[in-house]
Amino acid sequence: MVDIERLYSDRAGKMRKSVIRELLKVTQDPEIISFAGGLPNPNSFPIDDLEGVVDSVMKNYGKTALQYGTTQGLKDLRDIIAERAYKDGIDVQPDDVIITSGSQQSLDTVGKVFLNPGDTAIVGLPTYLGGINAFRSYESNLTGIPLDKDGMMVDVLEDTINKLMKDEILPKFIYVVPTFQNPAGVILSESRRKKLIDIANDYDLVVVEDDPYGKLRYDVPHIKPIKAFDDIGRVIYISTFSKILSPGFRLAWNISSPEISRKMIICKQALDLCTNTFTQFIALEFMRQGSMDLHIMKICEMYKPKRDIMMKAMQKYFPEGYVCYKPKGGMFAWPTLPEGIDTELLFLDAIKQKVAYVHGKAFFVDGGGARCMRLNFSYSTDEQLEEGMKRLGNVIKEKLEKNKVVL
């Protein structure tokens, strides 16, 4: 036997499995209605359009599309991404864009480029689990800032940075998912976006803005990303094709200052040399055909009623005393349940009743979130949404009843 533990790095010793990806295994049972994944609806994939696109890529660009590409990504694709970012309020050059293998790779790169063991980064309470995993894999400390219905509470943010600085801790960056946050579904208000940039300017910090859901808007007008308020080049903006085209393509991008992007490209060279060239060409052709905006509109038309079904079913089946802001975009609802519920413990009851979710604690770096659960509304059919929420409501009610009896 190899005495392998002896050979592992310190960071490997601390690595933990992703709660969600482990949950996804449990929920393979086809009878389980799962609100656990963060999966787009497979019916949203533009398979018919893509057949033609793929065919044209193979015929017209085969030899290039099957070859290695540059680490930074296809120039034409970066051009289109820069153009589209400009329309969203971000003024960038194509050279500031890096195509990555999913936005998870951007998060890993941020961790690798900025975090020494023991360094501190700031995240939301709650925040995206993939961010937590990426940053923790570099042995960092994560300090959490609570969210309310307008996103990260920037006053608390400033107080917290002040406290850290008094202890001679300089946080490296502020990680934020400002638009239709995963998991909480809330939007960081414009005034808070400006305030957040002011704080970053005052303390000379990097801001990591993760924006996978910005285009999945149901009830609100376009919201400018934080990056649009950044005059200095301190925001690393991250977005992805996973939620608006296909997660299977593993295509995402980040936008940052020339200096930061130079460092991130060097880092990416050692990570995977380059991102999948073939699917880069497919995404490029899809956008060149002008199909993207129409397709996004179709996805929103598919997801908005699903959101409504879930929210109505919640009102109908959940017990009194829960709180859930109506998500105005994205893929998740985030109810906080009445006192006495621990959603991690409740999970086994739920699985017995053939319904699944992700428990709230998975998204909290401070041990909080025991009364919360993340519910995905994009993946399930309308019928599954109704039936699954009914099952879930019953599980919660039963638990509350039991609590009463015990009391």
407 binds a second copy (CB under 8 A): no
- Using CB under 8 A, which residues numbered 183 to 212 contact a second copy? 204-206
Joined tokens for residue 252:
């995402």
What is the Cα–Cα distance from 140 to 196, expressed in whole angstroms?
A: 22
- How many residues at the interface with a second copy, by CB under 8 A? 91
Piece of the chain touching a second copy by CB under 8 A; list 98-106, 147-155, 333-341, 343-351: 98-106
Using CB under 8 A as the binding rule, whether residue 12 contacts a second copy is answered as yes
23, 40, 98, 192: residue in contact with a second copy (rule CB under 8 A):
40
Q: Are 385 and 313 in contact (CB under 8 A)?
A: yes
CA gap 356, 347 in Å, rounded: 7
In the complex, what is the shortest distance from the CB of residue 318 to a second copy, in angstroms, rounded to a whole number?
28
Q: In terms of CB distance, is 248 or 305 closer to a second copy? A: 248
The CA-atom distances, in angstroms, between 259 and each of 86, 235, 256 are: 20, 12, 8
Chosen residue from 89, 247, 319, 340 binding a second copy by CB under 8 A: 247
| Cis upstream peptide for 40 (omega within 30°) | no
Say if residues 373 and 337 touch (Cβ distance below 8 Å). Answer: yes
322 is an interface residue for a second copy by CB under 8 A: no
Cβ proximity to a second copy: between 72 and 336 the closer is 72
Measured from the CB atom, the residue of 302 and 400 that comes closer to a second copy is 302
Closer residue to a second copy in complex, CB, 270/407: 270
Interface residues for a second copy in 270-289 (CB under 8 A)? 270-279
The contacts of residue 25 (CB under 8 Å, 6+ apart) are none
Interacting positions 49-68 with a second copy (CB under 8 A):
50-51, 54-55, 58-59, 62-68
Distance CA 141, CA 12 (A): 16
Say whether residue 239 binds a second copy (CB under 8 A).
no
Three-state DSSP state, 124 = strand
Tallying the residues shown for the chain, one arrives at 407
- Contact between 133 and a second copy by CB under 8 A: the answer reads yes
Nearer to a second copy, 179 or 378 (CB): 378
Cα–Cα distance for residue pair 148/171, rounded to 1 Å: 22
Site for a second copy contains 168 (CB under 8 A): no
Count other Cβ atoms within 10 Å, centred on residue 60.
12
Q: Which is nearer to a second copy, 24 or 156 (CB)?
A: 24
- Does 269 participate in binding a second copy (rule CB under 8 A)? yes
In order of 199, 333, 338, 350, the CA distances from 313 in angstroms are 40, 12, 17, 16
Contacts of 385 (CB under 8 A, 6+ apart): 306, 309, 310, 313, 377
Which residue in the set 26, 220, 232, 297 belongs to the binding site for a second copy (CB under 8 A)? Answer: 232
Q: Does 101 bind a second copy (CB under 8 A)?
A: yes
Other CB atoms closer than 10 Å to residue 110's CB: what's the count?
Answer: 28
Segment interacting with a second copy, rule: CB under 8 A, options 129-137, 179-187, 220-228, 346-354: 129-137
Nearest to a second copy of 234, 371 (CB atom): 234
Under the binding rule (CB under 8 A), the answer on residue 71 touching a second copy is yes
